[in-house]
Structure 1
Amino acid sequence: MAAEARSGRGPSSNNLLSLSTIPPVLRPVVRAYAFGYASAVGPRLLTLILQRLSRRKRRRLSQGRDDDDTSFRASALRIIRTGFDVQRFPTFCAVLAGGSSVLLGPLRIVLNYIAKGLNRSTRLRLARWLATFISAWLGLRLLHSKDSPAFTATETEKSHAGYQFGRTRVVKYGGKTLDLTLFTVTRALDVIVGELWSQHRARRKAAQRWSKLEQLATDMIDPVVFAISSAFIMWSWFYYPHKLPRNYNKWITSAASVDLRLIEALRRCKFNELRYGEDTGQAPLLGSMCTDFKLPFQCGDPQVTIPFPCELVHMGCGPSCEYHALSRFVRSWKWAMYTYLPLALAFKLRRPNRENLVRAFLSAARSSAFLGTFITLFYYGVCLGRTRVGPHLIGSDKSSRQRIDGGLCVGTGCFLCGWSVLIETASRRKDMALFVAPRALATVVPRKYPVEKQWQESLVFAASSAVVMTCVLENPKRVRGVLGRLLGVVMK
């Protein structure tokens, strides 16, 4: 008691932080539920509060009581209550963590009887893997059990000859947890590949045969993953936006600050709706854009002008591709600073001295330079394909121009933009690569699939979760980034 008095902490606060009043086997369950609830409810409450403040600012000049108080409280309470729904993310987190701790003991006893030929450490590792596999399977099935209107459709029954009977049936689809599954698969692959490469490096260094090429591969793996993932994401954003989450697609469009008529014109080039040298009724699309940017209407007519001038890509910045690229960088850097600088300053509020403020500004400036370079390389890649390099390599005849504007110019921008990650620090590259990789995977798998195949997703998720959680318990440093540190705290 004296020690507690000297430290300024009472027994209750110490117990609250360490969960010492809860049995050790249940502590991961409580921590997981708390983190899951905070991550599920916190962002929604913050969004609601920001919307509320924005509305109050607009109504500041109005008289009388704000009639929106009741609806705000009702919305906040609904968000708080829904977080406790057993079919939602917090319970899923508790089930996943609980299986890794509660089921471990019984599985070890079973394996001691049926797998006596294995050594003790192997049996422990296998028990951990099986415990997480079972809990992950059950947890994902719990999320699947909640109906979602976005993955439910009403279809009219048809006969074998194609005639409609008039009766309808409700059809359910799987895929609502696909982003979570792809995130887990990416982490599991990172753990497996990282461990194999670590063992390879240890053997090579022990034999004094570690080469500069192998060291370069070690340093470049994260930038390469980020660049390839970014290429898939940007290609999908341009041509197949439905493959990206709606909010993510909206954010990219906002950052790109592009005239949607230009995107639509290049999409129509790819899908052969806009054809050079032919009147396919597409002239008004870019013709109106030419009028807005004080160019002749005919410059946007694909029957007359082959190809349409790159000045349209520059959207008012003049004919120079290089000047447009520089202008893009400056505008994008400023736009990004409005996001990154407040966040960087917020992390330094605990010690707001001059040195920390300078570090916050430099960190925000560096991240803004990364985003500005990303956007600049994408646009300049389009210009390289259309004007600077493409015609000299492929040709400048009508069919070559159709090929260039039908995908090659956009593909060049997609290939180049991701290499901007080299501006960031090595630790940031790691987190960014792990962030975009599952989103890139999502562009090559169907967002919806027959519900009968849902067991396949559950199997993949459970196996991947078992790999990650087993590694967290045995070699936590192998699970890289913020997730590794968070799981280390939860499973402690």
Structure 2
Amino acid sequence: MYAWFYSPEKLPPSYNSWIKKMSCIDQRIIVMLKKLHDKEIQFGQPSCHRSLEDLSRDLGLDPKMGSIEENDALPCQVLHSNISGSCEVHIAYRWLKGFESSIAIYVPLSLMFALRDPTTKNFKRALTSAIRSSAFLATFISNVWLGICATRSIIGPKLFPNVNRNRYDETIGPLIGSFLCGWSILIENPKRRGELALFVVPKALTVVLPKSLQQHRIIETVLFGLSTGVIIRSLIDGKGRKVRGVFGKTLHWIMNA
């Protein structure tokens, strides 16, 4: 998530688009955070950037609320997309919207899999799984906002009144939000946690590894070979059932054909 705020170009395009869609954050705010991080703008100082004033106008607010020169920080009302001036209300709203978006994806998928063996027990399990996964994603989204809002408005200025407000937006807020959102994984089923970890780790590696290293296809080849070797060995040792999903079933069928 931290990379999405400040280095979105390092993430795979599809993953970047997915986060953008689920976050529902106006891209002008993301651009503002990146410019703050890169020291291109500073609130309370002269600036030729007017995108936040345009954002305020589009939200039906006074354009001056988005003025970089006239504010020591972006007002919460603008940051919250005019949903509410209250950080607590805004965080709750983001959770509900995230849950609504997620449940619309997970329920049909879960029910589709349950139709393979349409029993009451399987349907209940499918709905429970869908609700749990939706709560995970909703908490993931709201925790990002919790970190940002708590740092810049709720707690930060009260505990550290002498810290420049720009610091909260340029690094600290998104950093804490990115840290907190990861803990939402505890809501998910333990088995799903491992699957999600395997999904996000390669994307994290694309952020931290230098491009020069990523361009060496030999590394991908070696990793693929080692991974395939582990899977095949587990099948030979009779542990094939540990390889879940369609891939595991297909390999198990091939090895036992």
TM-score range, shorter chain: 0.7 to 0.9
**Sequence identity percentage:** 35
Is the counterpart of residue 403 in structure 1 residue 172 in structure 2? no
Question: Residue 268 of structure 1 contacts residue 274 of structure 1 at CA under 8 Å; is this kept in 2?
Answer: yes
Q: In the aligned structure 2, how far is the partner of 1:379 from the partner of 1:240?
A: 19
Residue among 44, 66, 79 paired with 1:277: 44
TM-score for both structures, normalised by structure 1 = 0.48
1:237 positional shift? 1.4
Is the counterpart of residue 243 in structure 1 residue 10 in structure 2? yes
What amino acid maps onto 1:310 in structure 2? C
Matches within 5 A, 1:178-197: none
Q: In the aligned structure 2, how far is the partner of 1:253 from the partner of 1:237?
A: 9
Question: Residue 341 of structure 1 contacts residue 361 of structure 1 at CA under 8 Å; is this kept in 2?
Answer: yes
Change (3 A) 1:470 1:356: closer
Q: In the aligned structure 2, how far is the partner of 1:346 from the partner of 1:367?
A: 16
TM-score for both structures, normalised by structure 2 = 0.88
What amino acid maps onto 1:253 in structure 2? K
Residue among 350, 360, 370 paired with 2:116: 350
Question: Residue 29 of structure 2 contacts residue 79 of structure 2 at CA under 8 Å; is this kept in 1?
Answer: yes
Question: Residue 431 of structure 1 contacts residue 481 of structure 1 at CA under 8 Å; is this kept in 2?
Answer: no
Structure-2 residue corresponding to 1:466: 229
Structure-2 residue corresponding to 1:253: 20
1:276 positional shift? 2.2
The count of residues paired between Structure 1 and Structure 2 equals: 255
Question: Residue 243 of structure 1 contacts residue 447 of structure 1 at CA under 8 Å; is this kept in 2?
Answer: no
Q: In the aligned structure 2, how far is the partner of 1:354 from the partner of 1:408?
A: 48
Structure-1 residue corresponding to 2:187: 423
1:368 positional shift? 0.9
Change (3 A) 1:462 1:350: closer
Question: Residue 231 of structure 2 contacts residue 243 of structure 2 at CA under 8 Å; is this kept in 1?
Answer: no
- Give the number of the structure with larger relative contact order, counting CA–CA contacts within 8 Å between residues 6 or more apart: 1
- Higher share in strand: 1
What amino acid maps onto 1:344 in structure 2? S
Structure-2 residue corresponding to 1:262: 29
Question: Residue 53 of structure 2 contacts residue 63 of structure 2 at CA under 8 Å; is this kept in 1?
Answer: yes
- Unpaired runs of 5+ residues, structure 1, are 1-233
Question: Residue 472 of structure 1 contacts residue 484 of structure 1 at CA under 8 Å; is this kept in 2?
Answer: no
- Unpaired runs of 5+ residues, structure 2, are none
Matches within 5 A, 1:74-223: none
Residue among 74, 77, 81 paired with 1:308: 74
Structure-2 residue corresponding to 1:476: 239
What amino acid maps onto 1:420 in structure 2? S
1:370 positional shift? 1.0
Question: Residue 476 of structure 1 contacts residue 484 of structure 1 at CA under 8 Å; is this kept in 2?
Answer: no
